[in-house]
């Protein structure tokens, strides 16, 4: 019946003229999973996602989303998929409540519009014309329209671009709520902290290829990478050393300094370090 994969992609390719946007992507997203596609602008994120959403045709490869080829999307399939596109600000003359209510009418199994508005945090803006909303509020409206049909699978294309830090935190909570309720989520982002905060697994995409897929804390073998230990010498200079066994190294230092080591830090490559290495900006 329900296979365990929400999304299965094999050998996906797409070119616009001479420009190859997606050059052979393989990807599996499991049901109930939050998967982040991470990559710089122009890496092929949006093209990939829009093929999965049924918006674009692929040149070659096999794509199955919720058991169907999205190129053959029908209303039945569309009612199980929620889409939050990059653009916003489309229904200037209507109120939040009017827009959400209208879109709920397209789904057989729609959620209560008022509840959805409440859930995305727009309850006190329900009667406001959408052109009066702030950027973050408009994005919430986009999400409301994406989830009002109670999708099994939700696509979020760069959902928090332009948010202030607080709005992003709130938005993340909303996404975690949806994930906790069992919604499969595929999000694209170029924010590392967002991928780290939300995703069960991260796929790094660069130059149209999926460079690596892993849990955020395992990306680029971060766990096994050499740790950098640094400390301050009595002369006041900062010294540092690479170590595969930082615990033992620090224990030695502690003995040498007879207790507290001044200015001690132990770091491993940050997600940003491994990410930048992966997409070819090695430092």
Q: Which residues bind other proteins (CB under 8 A)?
A: 1-2, 4, 16, 30-34, 47, 50, 53-56, 75-76, 78-81, 83, 85, 87, 89-94, 98, 102-103, 105-110, 145, 149-150, 152, 179-184, 200-201, 215
Cα–Cα distance for residue pair 254/89, rounded to 1 Å: 59
Beta carbon nearer to other proteins, 126 or 266: 126
**Least separation, in Å, of the C-beta of 105 and other proteins?**
6
Query: Considering the complex, what minimum distance in angstroms separates the CB of residue 32 from other proteins?
Result: 4
DSSP assignment of 113-155: HHHHHHHTT-GGGTTSBGGGS-HHHHHHHHHHHHHTT--SEEE
Strands 60-65, 5-16: pairing kind? antiparallel
3-state SS class at 32: coil
Contacts of 128 by beta carbon, 8 Å cutoff, 6+ apart: 95, 96
Selection from 98, 53, 83, 90 nearest residue 147 by Cα:
83
Least distance between other proteins and beta carbon 92 (Å): 8
Which residue has 């050998």 as its token pair?
11
Q: What are phi and psi of 150, to 5 degrees?
A: 50, 60
Q: How far is the CB of 66 from other proteins (least distance, A)?
A: 10
Burial of 18 (0-12, 13-18, 19+ CB in 10 A): exposed
Name which of 187 and 261 has its Cβ closer to other proteins: 187
State the minimum distance, in angstroms, from the CB of residue 205 to other proteins. Answer: 17
* Residue among 98 and 273 whose Cβ is closer to other proteins: 98
Residue 271 Cβ vs other proteins, minimum distance, rounded to whole Å: 18
Q: 196 vs 231, which CB is nearer to other proteins?
A: 196
C-beta of 53 vs 194, nearer to other proteins: 53
* 29 vs 206, beta carbon nearer other proteins: 29
Rg over CA atoms, the chain: 23
Among residues 102, 98, 106, 100, the alpha carbon closest in space to that of 78 is found at: 106
Cross-strand partners of 23: 13
**CB 56, min distance to other proteins, A:** 6
In what side-by-side order are the strands of the sheet with 5-16? 19-30, 5-16, 60-65
Which residue lies nearer to other proteins by CB, 168 or 201?
A: 201
């Amino acid at each position: 019946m329900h296979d365990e994969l929400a999304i299965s992609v094999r050998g996906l390719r797409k070119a616009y003229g001479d420009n190859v946007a997606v050059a052979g992507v393989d990807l599996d997203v499991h049901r109930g999973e939050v998967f982040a596609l991470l990559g710089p602008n122009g890496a092929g994120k949006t093209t990939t996602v829009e093929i999965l959403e049924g918006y674009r045709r692929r040149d070659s490869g096999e794509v199955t989303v919720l058991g169907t080829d999205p190129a053959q999307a029908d209303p039945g399939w569309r009612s199980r998929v929620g889409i939050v596109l990059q653009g916003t600000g489309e229904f200037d003359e209507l109120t939040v409540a009017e827009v959400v209510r209208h879109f709920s009418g397209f789904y057989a199994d729609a959620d209560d519009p008022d509840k959805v508005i409440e859930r995305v945090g727009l309850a006190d803006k329900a009667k406001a014309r959408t052109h009066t909303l702030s950027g973050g509020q408009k994005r919430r409206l986009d999400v409301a329209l994406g989830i009002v049909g109670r999708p099994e699978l939700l696509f979020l294309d760069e959902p928090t671009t332009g948010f202030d830090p607080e709005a992003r935190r709130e938005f993340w909570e909303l996404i975690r709520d949806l994930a906790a309720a069992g919604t499969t989520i595929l999000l694209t982002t170029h924010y590392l902290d967002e991928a780290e905060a939300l995703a069960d697994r991260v796929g790094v995409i660069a130059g149209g290829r999926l460079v690596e897929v892993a849990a955020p804390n395992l990306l680029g073998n971060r766990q096994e990478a050499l740790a950098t230990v640094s400390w301050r010498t009595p002369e006041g200079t900062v010294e540092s050393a690479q170590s595969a066994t930082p615990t033992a190294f620090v224990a030695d230092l502690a003995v040498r300094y007879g207790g507290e080591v001044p200015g001690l830090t132990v770091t491993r490559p940050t997600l940003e370090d491994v990410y930048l290495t992966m997409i070819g900006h090695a430092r």
